[in-house]
Structure 1
């Protein structure tokens, strides 16, 4: 593979290597992706984001790779950075862009110089669609037996990525890594699951930590914040608009759906930051 041109970006500290594959070929191996994301020997990132030519009537394709080289179907913080990257690279001057991932389609809108709004597809609440082996109808909560932690009540939301949301009293004292790993290891989730730990602080705001598939805990997870907001609404703990404070900053989420009518899209607004542009040679290994 020839020298790679890229940008380093972040959304609330959730950081990315962003690559334009409309102007250069980019077909990395799992080892190359892991090296890119390595914070000691590579660039360092939670995920690698790739802008692809459109495959249909969308403006661009959108590939997402986790730090371990696995594919992801959604990244909300990444989508905001993708919008800033597309505009900054002069790939489009449209204020509202449509992009398609491997699993879903979304819209990215430029709000101002600092913020972007991402409109995600409506959440899917059937446990089987997560995917999950849980034989149950859509519900605000499901009871799961988690080894070492007992019976837990979780909200299950598919938003291009699978999410399990737990309500906690204090996100600072919750064993996020241990409990997140235990939930991800359940045979119920054949493709693993992102685990959100939500502490509500009133109907319009809350705090959130997310333990992600293939990355561990990150400073922010956009799709995880959207899933947490949807779960809070379904549990009767929030109205349509929720501001969630993550470790890297705040996101504003809006969803007007319900358990019986979940078809409304989820809207997320927050900042995107360009850090630097670079060009690298792949290591000889």
Structure 2
């Protein structure tokens, strides 16, 4: 099985173009994502045929669980299919478990450099207080097609990702688990964010998380609608904008790291 390792702001996945999901896909993703005994990644993304869009994307985390959506991952899907000649469109649609997303590919020299994604409409819940063994925190639940809990802090650099982030991610308040974003506000157009991703742990970036952070910041009064906000993550910056109807767009880079192949007896 051939794969391509790609990354968006350090959020890295193994990409496979296939007619169907392979058997035992969850175990396969867990094994190949291992950074010591596998190829090493935050998970695997399969690009499949779709009868509703140009392509379909299925995402499996490093622990084998399936994710509904990945903002960094879908940008790399756009780069993959264009750079490899599976499409000549610079505007295309991708079916995900979180709905159909529209991508605008920005190219140079025949290759995709950055991608703007129409992420759909965000749903921001009422702030709530959650108690863990670590502490009691105030958070804002956000649905970007996948679940997020945004925690505003004074300094995201000091965010307790491995303790509080991990505890919130599996808290009973979120039966399906949740991605946890710790966000500090630099000013009305700049946020600093660090993330504990459900199923992957600490990652360098989370695209849907950045969108959730901006939406929560707008709901809290830190940012405003119809204004581009730069979200600085450990892996780099994303630009996010939420319009008056709650529709979210995100722009960021997509890069190919290397090509690889797994022996048939390893799949």
Q: TM-score range by the shorter chain?
A: over 0.9
Q: Is the 2:8–2:75 Cα contact (8 Å) retained in structure 1?
A: yes
The equivalent of 1:147 in structure 2 is: 133
Query: 2:266 & 2:235 partners in 1: Cα distance?
Result: 35
Query: 2:21 & 2:250 partners in 1: Cα distance?
Result: 31
1:172 paired with 2:157, answer: yes
5 Å matches for 1:1-285? 4-22=1-19, 26-56=22-52, 58-113=53-108, 114-125=113-124, 138-139=125-126, 141-150=127-136, 152-239=137-224, 240-257=227-244, 263-283=245-265
Query: 1:185 & 1:223 partners in 2: Cα distance?
Result: 18
Query: 1:112 & 1:282 partners in 2: Cα distance?
Result: 35
The equivalent of 1:134 in structure 2 is: none
Tell me by how many angstroms 1:172 deviates: 1.6
Q: Which has the higher strand share?
A: 2
Tell me by how many angstroms 1:283 deviates: 5.0
Question: How many residues end up aligned between the 2 structures?
Answer: 261
Structure 1, unaligned stretches of length 5 or more? 126-137, 258-262
Summarize deviations over 1:75-105 as a string: whole Å, max 9, x none: 0000110000010121111111111112222
Q: TM-score, normalised by structure 2?
A: 0.93
Structure 2, unaligned stretches of length 5 or more? none
Q: TM-score, normalised by structure 1?
A: 0.87
Tell me by how many angstroms 1:284 deviates: 5.4
Q: 1:210 to 1:25 in 2, by over 3 A?
A: closer
What SS does structure 1 have at the residue aligned with 2:168? Answer: helix
